[in-house]
Amino acid sequence: MFGNFTYSNPTKLYFGDESLSYLHDELKNYGPTVMLAYGGGSIKKNGIYDAVCEILHAEGKRIVELPGVMPNPTVEKLYEGARLARENNVDLILAVGGGSTIDYAKGVSCSAWCEEDPWQKYYTRFEEATCKVIPVGAILTMVGTGSEMNGGSVITNHSLGLKVGKVFGDYAFPKFAILNPKYTFTVPQYQMVAGFFDIMSHILEQYLSGSDDNTTDYLAEGLMRSLVHSSRIAVKNPQNYEARSNIMWTATWALNTLIAKGKSTDWEVHMLGQAMGAITDATHGMTLAVVSLPYYRHIINSPNAKEGAVAKFARFAANVWNVDRTGKSEKQMAEEGLKALENWMCEIGLVMHSAELGVTEENIPAIADGTFLLDSGYVTLTRDDVVKILRESM
Ligand code: NZQ
Ligand code: ZN
């Protein structure tokens, strides 16, 4: 490992089926006005809303409701939340939901007191917040993004055809996050497996880069093995607490900054997926699923790939999928590893073709235009490469 780094994570986690009870103590740390941000209503159906409100009332809080945070939250919704938070002088934003709601809460927390246009400041110029930032607490109901323990906040601007992730500093991480695996039992199967692939993709984005021997790569392999094992159980029995709790914990570690430490990372799959999401509004994890294999096959076949590329994919085959190395070249191993990944993706029921997400030959140029091209992975794509990968994803 050659990188120099600082590691700290400011989010306090409460994990387990009794974790909501800790909300009482956490609320005592904040003033009287709590903005309750949530999505399209799933928390009202499964009882989480009532349980949270009961605690808010017991702690004497004034609740400012902010419902209707959509999957892939929009910039218009961000402006609405920022206005509401400022008008009500909110002391804490409590996000109850999946990555969309938590990402959104972070965006609102840094935008409410911002004197500039937050889209311009954070999602175009990628500046840090310089205004008062409202603290965020998270109650996670859907697993995948890692938003519960990171500074990520992804906002979609449909009028510009862009979906952009801003990674805020420590100051915007949730101050606390409550993770009850039982809350994820009601997530629809489509969203559940999309979240599983989001986790896999986060790990791969950080694992498939660099050529040094690196402790975090061994951690990544362990996380992937656990995810594959538990996902197979969860798709057959979504109410299996052991599998769902392991996946919840894996998701958090997959993107809470730890496995990026000391090494290079890629993130081009997310750039492709987010650009596709901006145009189609498709579910995040599914956009990643459809572009991953074409992108990875592009890498292992690219004459310009950086040192260590094929060897890393071969290691992935051996250490994550138990592919036997006997008599095989690194290239054959790499191909077999990707085949094993593909088989698992089909097995858990992911969407494998972008045409099913609304990608057409006509909207490929707009998706290509919205794809940021990064140079930290094994290859740096050109716009032509992006178009080719998008076509192959269909
Ligand atoms: O709107 P509600 O009613 O809450 O329904 C949601 C939504 O329809 C539903 N759901 C969530 N928990 C449920 C449930 N339904 C029943 N029971 C429950 N317990 O699931 C649907 C999807 O929710 P959403 O929050 O959109 O999913 P996810 O957690 O995958 O978040 C996706 C967003 O996070 C961003 C994505 O780009 C996307 O905008 N990401 C955030 C990242 C970060 N902060 O670091 C990184 C990721 O790569 C990702 O980009
Ligand atoms: Zn993701």
Q: Domains in the chain and their CATH numbers?
A: 12-183 (3.40.50.1970), 189-393 (1.20.1090.10)
The mean per-residue pLDDT over the stretch 286-314 comes to 97
Q: What is the pLDDT of residues 74-96, one digit of tens each?
A: 999 999 999 999 999 999 999 99
pLDDT at 1: 85
Ligand 2 centroid distance, CA of 384 (Å): 24
Instruction: Report the nearest-CA residue for atom 36 of ligand 1.
Output: 284
Rounded Cα distance between 237 and 62, Å, is 39
Atom of ligand 1 nearest to the CA of 195: 30
The CA-atom distances, in angstroms, between 31 and each of 26, 35, 92, 109, 134 are 11, 11, 7, 15, 11
Distance 348 CA to ligand 1 centre (A): 18
What residue has token string 């903005």?
A: 35
203 CB neighbour count, 10 Å cutoff: 24
Flag whether pLDDT at 3 surpasses 90.
no
Nearest CA to ligand 1 atom 22: 71
2 has pLDDT over 90: no
Residue by residue, DSSP assigns 159-220 as TTTEEEEEE--GGGS-SEEEE-GGGGGGS-HHHHHHHHHHHHHHHHHHHSS--S--HHHHHH
Q: Which atom of ligand 1 is nearest to the CA of 202?
A: 48
> Which among 177, 214, 201 has a CA at the least distance from the CA of 308?
214
Give the mean model confidence (pLDDT) for residues 18-25.
98
The CA distance from 48 to 54, in Å, is 10
Task: Output the CA–CA distances (angstroms, integers) from residue 285 to 68, 144, 194, 225, 269, in the order listed.
Answer: 21, 8, 4, 19, 11
Q: Cβ(257) to ligand 1 under 6 A?
A: no
CA of 55 to the centre of ligand 2 (A): 31
pLDDT (average), residues 2-12: 93
Determine the distance separating the centroid of ligand 2 and the alpha carbon of 319, expressed in angstroms: 23
Pocket test of ligand 1: the residue of 187, 191, 253, 272 to mutate, having most ligand atoms within 8 Å of its CB, is: 191
pLDDT at 65 over 90: yes
* pTM beyond 0.95, yes or no: yes
Closest atom of ligand 1 to CA, residue 186 = 17
Closest-lying ligand 1 atom to the alpha carbon of residue 274:
37
Pairing of β 33-38 and β 12-15: unpaired
Q: What percent of the chain has pLDDT over 90?
A: 99
Distance 24 CA to ligand 2 centre (A): 31
22 vs 15: CA distance, rounded Å: 10
Instruction: List the structure tokens of 23.
Output: 């909300």
pLDDT on residue 195: 98
Quick check: 187 pLDDT over 90? yes
pLDDT one-digit tens code per residue, 348-371: 999 999 999 999 999 999 999 999
- Nearest alpha carbon to residue 56 among 83, 82, 12, 93: 93
Give the Å distance between the CA of 99 and the centre of ligand 1.
Answer: 4
Average pLDDT, the chain: 97
Structure confidence at residue 320 (pLDDT): 98
pLDDT confidence of residue 36: 98
Across the chain, the runs of DSSP E, i.e. the strands, are 12-15, 33-38, 62-66, 92-97, 136-140, 152-157, 162-167, 176-179
| pLDDT tops 90 at residue 125 | yes
Instruction: For residue 42, give the 3-state DSSP assignment.
Output: helix
pLDDT for 394 equals 98
**Which of 154, 155, 274 for a ligand 1 pocket mutation test, highest count of atoms within 8 Å of Cβ?**
154
Q: For 242-299, how does the pLDDT look when each residue is reduced to its tens digit (9 = 90+)?
A: 999 999 999 999 999 999 999 999 999 999 999 999 999 999 999 999 999 999 999 9
**Nearest-ligand number for the alpha carbon of 146:** 1
Average pLDDT over residues 190-198: 98
72 within ligand 1 shell (Cβ under 6 A): yes
Give residue 42 CA to ligand 1 midpoint distance, Å.
Answer: 11
- Regarding the beta carbon of 68 and ligand 1, being less than 6 Å apart is answered no
Residue 42, pLDDT above cutoff 90: yes
